[in-house]
Amino acid sequence: MGTVLMNVDPNSVFLALVLGLIFLVLFEILRIHVSRGRTPPGPRPFPFLGTLPYFIKDPMGSARSIHQYGEMATVYIGRQQGIVLNTLQLTKEALVQEGSTFSGRPALPLIDWITNGLGIIMVTFGHSWRQQRRFALHTLRNFGLGKKSVEERVSEEGRYLVAEMLKEGTTFDPKHVIQNAVSNIICSIVFGDRFDYDNKRFAYLLKVLNENFILTGSAGAQMFNLVPSIKHFPGPHQKMLQNTNELLGFIREEVNEHRQTLDPENPRDFIDAYLLEIDKQKSQEDSTFHEQNMFMSTADLFLAGTDTTATTIRWGLIFLMENPEVQERCHEEIVQVLGYDGQPSMDDRDKLPYTQATVHEIQRCANIVPFGVVHATTQPTKLRGYNIPKGTMIMTNLTRIFSDEKHWKSPDTFNPENFLDENRHFYKPEAFIPFSLGPRVCPGETLARTELFLYIVTLLQRIHFSWPPNSECPDMDGIMGVVRFPHPFKIVCRSRDAKY
């Protein structure tokens, strides 16, 4: 055998490898050509990489331009086909009218590697997802979601946030204090406690959480999804796994403390309720309630309840500083209704139509998930005459829907008038779908709406926000991760109330 190998001509081996590579590329080009003839139009994919290079190079440019291919467009993440829904009507047809068919989640190797297929957000559509989501919604309601108690928590935290922002000094980056304030609400529901803004361990957890949100949308993460075998090598995916393990370690410690002090007659929070549910269902063969699922479901709630709302508020500060006349008008309306010391509540929304419109306009323009949370088909289906195989990724082009001139008075500018009718009353256009539609609509929608309204009202009631001298507005395309983050920026806070 060794003699045979010694007699092999290296040039022949090299030539065979080159010819084999050429054959593979030609075969892939032919496969793409045949596939494109059967699918909705879309940008021309690269062999093996698909249309991923376009999105990595200019994610927001791709989001803004993909609708040129029609109401639905085909993209490829590597060799995996995806469909982008570019209109509200088609989105409703798929996610609502055919909800169960379009409510899956795609097989993403990176997410599966990190979560082991557990949790709520990215778990596949099926028995485990139904059990975990139903339990989470029921338990969150029991511990304040949709009740006055959650308003009281947000209002109290809003006062801490105002004091902290005014204490920071003249110029500072508001990222940490906003993230901490928002996270404290879900923490009080899930863990039964809030964390001070100077808690270094919690600040570190928020840092690694934010880091993972950015890394998950990075080119390195997309490469992992194309070539999962790189999990055995160094790279940003190893940092993501390390960050996830640190978060799960924090949750594990919380669970151990809860287990030692658990009172079955008086559950205090989500973790207590989950521990009791594990015990209740231990004899059920089809139960998905176990310790590992508890860790991941808790992590999902912590993740979803922190960065999305905090990121929206940070974008909101940018829009308000760029549009000072909107900021002043909101402040005047708030003071007229509540004064400087009145505590806002959700019941005040109708009395504050312009401010409520501004909150919604912040969400529209922030557009923190430009293609929505990705879905997948759970079975073969048809959409507008095209055959859609099982497992096809489905994305909602919120960038287009939120800027479609059919639905908005001022589609391309920040303008609260988009949410006011001719009588100056607040109204919500049907194209406003930041929490998605159908069976997989965001389970934290009520909490997010409460936080956004009460935090923004509280901040505008007490603080005037402006740019530091000689500073410029950051690039408004932002940084693409799991959500679209604003680039780092600093603000100047001036108290509107002598009390502070």
pLDDT score recorded for residue 145: 54
The pLDDT value given to residue 499: 46
Separation between Cα atoms, residue 487 and residue 315, nearest integer Å: 10
- Give the rounded distance of the alpha carbon of 338 from its chain centre: 32
pLDDT of residue 233: 85
Q: Sign of torsion, CA 197 200 202 204?
A: positive
For 472-475, which contacts have Cβ atoms below 8 Å and span 24 or more sequence positions?
A: 473/318, 473/321, 473/322, 474/318
Distance, CA of 73 to CA of 70 (rounded, Å): 6
CA 140 to chain centre: 19
Per-residue model confidence (pLDDT) at position 31: 65
Q: Rounded CA gap, 183 and 194, in Å?
A: 8
**Rounded distance, CA 161 to CA 163, Å?**
5
Query: What are 126's two structure tokens?
Result: 């099926």
Each residue's pLDDT, cut to its tens digit, for the chain (500 residues) gives 555 445 556 767 667 777 767 766 666 666 666 666 688 999 988 887 888 888 888 999 999 999 999 999 999 988 888 999 999 999 999 999 999 999 999 988 888 888 888 888 888 888 999 999 999 988 887 776 555 578 888 999 999 999 999 986 678 999 999 999 999 999 988 888 889 999 998 999 888 888 888 888 777 788 888 888 888 888 888 998 999 999 999 999 999 999 999 999 988 889 999 999 999 998 888 899 999 999 999 999 888 888 899 999 999 999 999 999 999 999 999 999 999 889 999 999 999 999 999 999 999 999 999 999 999 999 999 999 999 999 999 999 999 999 999 999 999 999 999 999 999 999 999 999 999 999 999 888 989 999 999 999 999 999 999 999 988 899 999 999 889 999 999 999 999 874 44
- The 3-class SS string of the chain reads CHHHHHCCCHHHHHHHHHHHHHHHHHHHHHHHHHHHCCCCCCCCCECCCECHHHHHHCHHHHHHHHHHHCCEEEEEECCEEEEEECCHHHHHHHHHHCCCCCCECCCCHHHHHHHCCCCCCCCCCCHHHHHHHHHHHHHHHHCCCCCHHHHHHHHHHHHHHHHHHHHCCCCECCHHHHHHHHHHHHHHHHCCCCCCCCCHHHHHHHHHHHHHHHHHCCHHHHHHHHCHHHHHCCCHHHHHHHHHHHHHHHHHHHHHHHHHHCCCCCCCCHHHHHHHHHHHCCCCCCCCCCHHHHHHHHHHHHHHCCHHHHHHHHHHHHHHHHCHHHHHHHHHHHHHHHCCCCCCCHHHHHHCHHHHHHHHHHHHHHCCCCCCCCEECCCCEEECCEEECCCCEEEECHHHHCCCCCCCCCCCCCCHHHHECCCCCECCCCCCCCCCCHHHCCCCHHHHHHHHHHHHHHHHHHEEEECCCCCCCCCCCCEECCCEECCCCCEEEEECCCCC
pLDDT at 282: 87
Burial 120-156 (b: 16+ CB within 10 A, else e): bbbbbbeebbebbbebbbebbeebbbeeeebbebbbe
CA atoms within 13 A on the CB side of 111: 18
**Per-residue confidence (pLDDT) for residue 140, from 0 to 100:** 81
Q: What is the pTM for the complete model shown?
A: 0.91
